[in-house]
Amino acid sequence: MLNFGAFLAFMGVNAAVVKTFYVEGRKRNLVTDILAPVAGFLFCAAIWWSLPALAKWIGAAWVLLGFIYLAVLTHGFRRAPARLDFAEQ
């Protein structure tokens, strides 16, 4: 179950690199902004896909519970979730 979330997060990081540096960036580098993160995404996706079925089911249930919790917390997504403020007081 831990690997389920970890590899999903790694795939999200790689997707965010493409979006941030290639889609929104001014200087576009094919290797560092597209090829490397896409390769990382595919590598993580392959490992995620090979996880045991039980890990996928438990991970999916955990994600669903988190989604339901967020929906309740935000009153059906009508309010923004609480934000953390890391500014020193």
Is the residue at 65 inside a domain? yes
Is the residue at 88 inside a domain? no
Q: What is the mean pLDDT of the chain?
A: 91
Residue numbers of the domain that contains 29:
2-73
Find the range with the poorest average confidence among 15-19, 29-33, 39-43. Answer: 29-33
Those residues whose C-beta lies under 8 Å from the C-beta of residue 58, and which sit 6 or more positions away, are: 1, 4
Task: Please tell me the pTM assigned to this model.
Answer: 0.75
Is the residue at 33 inside a domain? yes
Is the residue at 57 inside a domain? yes
Is the residue at 80 inside a domain? no
- What is the per-residue pLDDT across 46-73, written as a single tens digit (0 to 9) for each? 999 999 999 999 999 999 999 999 999 9
Q: Is 57 helix (H, G, I), strand (E, B) or coil?
A: helix
Q: Say what the alpha-carbon torsion angle 17, 19, 22, 27 is, to the nearest 10 degrees.
A: -90
Count of structural domains, the chain: 1
Those residues whose C-beta lies under 8 Å from the C-beta of residue 71, and which sit 6 or more positions away, are: 77
